Chain A
Amino acid sequence: MPIDWYAARAAGVVAYVLLSAVVLVGLTLSGRAQLGSWPKFAVTELHRFGGILVGVFLGIHVLAIAIDTYTPFSPTQLLVPFASSYRPFWVALGIVSAELLVAVAVTNALKPHISYRTWRRAHYATFLVWAGATVHGIGAGTDSTTSWLGALYAVCVGLVSGALAWRIMRRREAIRPTSAGVSTL
């Protein structure tokens, strides 16, 4: 089996783990969690750096698949959802997620020129990217049935789901006193 096929799989898994970590840090930032002696700007810097690393490993993942001869993919099959005959639905999910991630990266680059509200709304797409990447990895990944990768997916899904639940609760707690105040007026 060619080395580039293993490289594609390894890069995909690392990109997914990094993406999960970046989403976790993002939720921590937006939930205004106290991180001990870590200043907010340092956590934001880590969040950005993690995002860049996700892009790097996603690039390696796509490049390795492009040059791989074990499962040949044409440039069209790499860019257009459902163009590939290899596990079309699961691969399409990966393509859509990757393209959505590029769109999120573009809005990050344009942040000084767009409104905060627009940027924030676009940034919510990261959850779709993460969910799509999870399903893509489980459905299209050839190692998904192995116990080590199953455990990895379980840990990532558990952590991100837990952090998302915590974030939603924080938001409700923040809204509750305001709405109570409005109702008494």
Chain B
Amino acid sequence: MQESSRVAAGRRRAARAKRTIALAAAGGFLAVFGLARISHPGTTATGSVTTGSSPSSIVVQQSDDGGESDDGTWSSGTIAPSTSSSVPQVQTRTS
């Protein structure tokens, strides 16, 4: 009788732990999703480009195959004002 109550208690404990792990995994997924979005340079650099002459004309430079080169590596895209070459470029994509 005592043995079966111990088994039942163990089962209850395992069921609770399983629920907690599943919820933690789902929460972890959302947290990492958010962290990956925040830490990606493409999102953090948005809106931080300022130019002296023509702030509205921003050219996004990227290769025609989506940034991937022949050797399998990824080239970085850049955002730069179209009129002035002296303004520093902002990197938006990394590999």
A residues neighboring B (CB under 8 Å): 1, 6-7, 9-11, 13-14, 17-18, 37-39, 41-42, 45-46, 49-50, 53, 57, 70-72, 84-88, 142-143, 146, 148-149
Majority SS at the chain A contact face: helix
In the complex, B42 has a CB within 8 A of chain A: yes
| Count of interface residues, chain B, beta-carbon cutoff 8 Å | 32
Majority SS at the chain B contact face: helix
Q: Which of B21-43 contact A (CB under 8 A)?
A: 21-22, 25, 28-30, 32-33, 35-37, 39-40, 42-43
Known: A9-B32, A87-B72. 14 other contacts (CB 8 A): A9-B33, A14-B28, A37-B13, A41-B7, A41-B10, A45-B18, A49-B21, A57-B25, A70-B66, A71-B66, A87-B95, A88-B72, A142-B95, A146-B39
Contacts of B21 in A (CB 8 A): 46, 49-50, 53
A18 & B33 in contact (Cβ 8 Å cutoff): no
B11 & A14 in contact (Cβ 8 Å cutoff): no
Considering the chains assembled together, what is the distance between the CA atoms of A38 and B6 in angstroms? 10
A14 & B42 in contact (Cβ 8 Å cutoff): no
- The closest CB in chain A to the CB of B28 belongs to A14
Contacts of A85 in B (CB 8 A): 68, 70-72
Q: Within the complex, what minimum Cβ distance (angstroms) separates B26 from chain A? A: 9
A53 & B13 in contact (Cβ 8 Å cutoff): no
CB-CB under 8 A for A57 and B36, given A42-B14, A85-B68: no
In the complex, B94 has a CB within 8 A of chain A: yes
B14 & A10 in contact (Cβ 8 Å cutoff): no
B residues neighboring A (CB under 8 Å): 6-7, 10-11, 13-14, 17-18, 21-22, 25, 28-30, 32-33, 35-37, 39-40, 42-43, 66, 68, 70-74, 94-95
Q: Which of A7, A41, A142 has the most CB of B within 10 A?
A: A142
B14, B25, B43, B71: the one within 8 Å of A46 (CB): B14
CB-CB under 8 A for A46 and B33, given A1-B42, A41-B10: no
Contacts of A50 in B (CB 8 A): 21
Considering the chains assembled together, what is the distance between the CA atoms of A53 and B33 in angstroms? 17
